[in-house]
Amino acid sequence: MTGLYIHIPYCHSKCAYCDFYSTPRRDSLDQLVSFLVKEWRMRRHELPESPSTLYLGGGTPSILSLEKLKELIEGVGNKSWIESTIECNPEDVTLQWIDGVRALGFNRVSMGVQSLDDDQLRFIGRRHTAHDALQKMEMLLQNGFNVSVDLIYGLPHQSIDSWRRSLDGVLSLHPHHLSAYLLSYETGTRLWAMLQSNKLEEASDEAVHEMYQHLCAVTASEGYEHYEVSNFAKTGSKAVHNSNYWNGSPYLGLGPGAHSFDGKIRRYNPSSIKQYLESISHNMTPFVVDAEDDLERLNDFIITRLRTNVGLQIEEITRGWGGELADAILKDVRPHLTSGMLVREGDRLYIPQRQWLRSDAVMRDLIRVL
């Protein structure tokens, strides 16, 4: 199965923690859609088969008008996708928007909520309140969408009680899917700058551990499957598009800052609207190619799989990289099997979900260096 990702690089404003490529300047918005469609026509042959999933991410795809969205969806071939997701922010969700995206065939909406504490929302630069977020979630659920919600934990000044309230509030509406991310201070973000200049304090390891354990416990008691370090799904609602990334399936990424993988080669579009538009207007593909070697591919595979509940199949390593390497890995993991950080069941090695946040030591011993 293959997927199509389209990056819409605009946001109303920049959130303090975010390093995704996006800009509040929208002067090229009208042009962008036709360029995305042109890029699709130029590059669709990179996929070995027609894509089954569509994911509109960003940035904030809900910034696009319904007319522009229609032009985009028709341009990439309006069809029945197995899963068709659009990311949105609460402030953009209206009944008209809901009707419009449903008419365009979207069956899944991923909404950035991040917190249900208004002080925290203001601090991280979100433009909605907790009340708005809950109201819009309800509207989406009542209108039959498969709804995924993003939350962040480990924020500065976030208490365990505040985290509990955010989780409880979101889960009380029973969304199909939850993505709960541990805050990371990415270079260049406002929070990173504040940390560098000692204007805030990182959450302690103990606080983060407690929040994560609470997250694992409460999602399990509400019937969610914890299938990737940050992702939780009700039965039948795992994110198909994102799961394919973790399975190593091919995907094509269109737009500034988008990545692609054809099964062998990774390609990266420039994180610059100007460069992107220039390349496409000259009928040139915009990407740079990363010729990943065998070891890098193996390391990617190990790291990605050990963050999921699928884990590593030794047989897959033998098949892809040879029996000698598989044997060496099995030797190196012995101490982690003894300590319980890693579990072996037949051919499968996995890290128990509750240890995923502390899996760095295991990863270090498993990844191969020249």
Q: Which is nearer to ligand SF4, 112 or 169 (CB)?
A: 112
Q: Which is nearer to ligand SF4, 15 or 329 (CB)?
A: 15
120 binds ligand SF4 (CB under 6 A): no
Query: Which residues are CB-contacts of 349 (< 8 A; sequence separation ≥ 6)?
Result: 306, 311, 312, 314, 333, 342, 343
Binder to ligand SF4 among 60, 84, 242, 279 (CB under 6 A)? 60
CB 179 → ligand SF4: shortest distance, Å?
12
Give the span between the Cα atoms of 230 and 246, in whole angstroms: 13
Q: Which is nearer to ligand SF4, 231 or 308 (CB)?
A: 231
Q: Which is nearer to ligand SF4, 121 or 302 (CB)?
A: 121
Q: Which stretch binds ligand SF4 (CB under 6 A): 54-62, 180-188, 246-254, 351-359?
A: 54-62
18 binds ligand SF4 (CB under 6 A): yes
Query: Edge-to-edge strands of the sheet including 251-254?
Result: 225-228, 231-233, 177-182, 146-153, 108-114, 83-88, 53-58, 3-8, 251-254, 259-261, 266-268, 288-290
CB 335 → ligand SF4: shortest distance, Å?
39
Q: Which stretch binds ligand SF4 (CB under 6 A): 53-61, 270-278, 346-354, 356-364?
A: 53-61
CB 298 → ligand SF4: shortest distance, Å?
31
Query: Edge-to-edge strands of the sheet including 343-345?
Result: 312-313, 348-350, 343-345
59 binds ligand SF4 (CB under 6 A): yes
Q: Cα separations (Å) of 129 from 97, 124, 210, 212? A: 19, 12, 25, 24
Q: Which stretch binds ligand SF4 (CB under 6 A): 52-60, 193-201, 323-331, 348-356?
A: 52-60
How does DSSP assign 122-172, residue by residue?
HHTT-SS-HHHHHHHHHHHHHTT-EEEEEEEES-TT--HHHHHHHHHHHHT
CB 58 → ligand SF4: shortest distance, Å?
5
Alpha helices in the chain (DSSP H): 29-43, 66-75, 95-103, 118-123, 130-142, 160-171, 190-196, 205-221, 240-247, 273-281, 294-306, 314-321, 323-332, 334-339, 360-366
Q: Which stretch binds ligand SF4 (CB under 6 A): 58-66, 67-75, 184-192, 339-347?
A: 58-66
Binder to ligand SF4 among 4, 6, 8, 11 (CB under 6 A)? 11
> How far from each other are the two terminal CA atoms of the chain, in whole angstroms?
33
CB 126 → ligand SF4: shortest distance, Å?
7
Q: Which is nearer to ligand SF4, 11 or 133 (CB)?
A: 11
Q: Which is nearer to ligand SF4, 3 or 57 (CB)?
A: 57
| Separation of CA 54 from chain center | 14
Give how many residues touch ligand SF4 by CB under 6 A.
11
Give the span between the Cα atoms of 313 and 311, in whole angstroms: 7
Report the site for ligand SF4 in 65-94 (rule: CB under 6 A). 89
56 binds ligand SF4 (CB under 6 A): no
Other Cβ atoms closer than 10 A to 333 = 18
Q: Which stretch binds ligand SF4 (CB under 6 A): 18-26, 37-45, 276-284, 328-336?
A: 18-26
22 binds ligand SF4 (CB under 6 A): yes
CB 112 → ligand SF4: shortest distance, Å?
5
Binder to ligand SF4 among 14, 44, 164, 259 (CB under 6 A)? 14
181 binds ligand SF4 (CB under 6 A): no
Q: Cα separations (Å) of 150 from 17, 104, 108, 121, 139? A: 13, 23, 13, 13, 17
112 binds ligand SF4 (CB under 6 A): yes
Q: Which of 366, 293, 288, 291 is CA-nearest to residue 328?
A: 366
CB 12 → ligand SF4: shortest distance, Å?
7
Give the span between the Cα atoms of 109 and 220, in whole angstroms: 22
Q: What does the binding site for ligand SF4 look like in residue numbers (CB under 6 A)? A: 11, 14-15, 18, 20, 22, 58-60, 89, 112
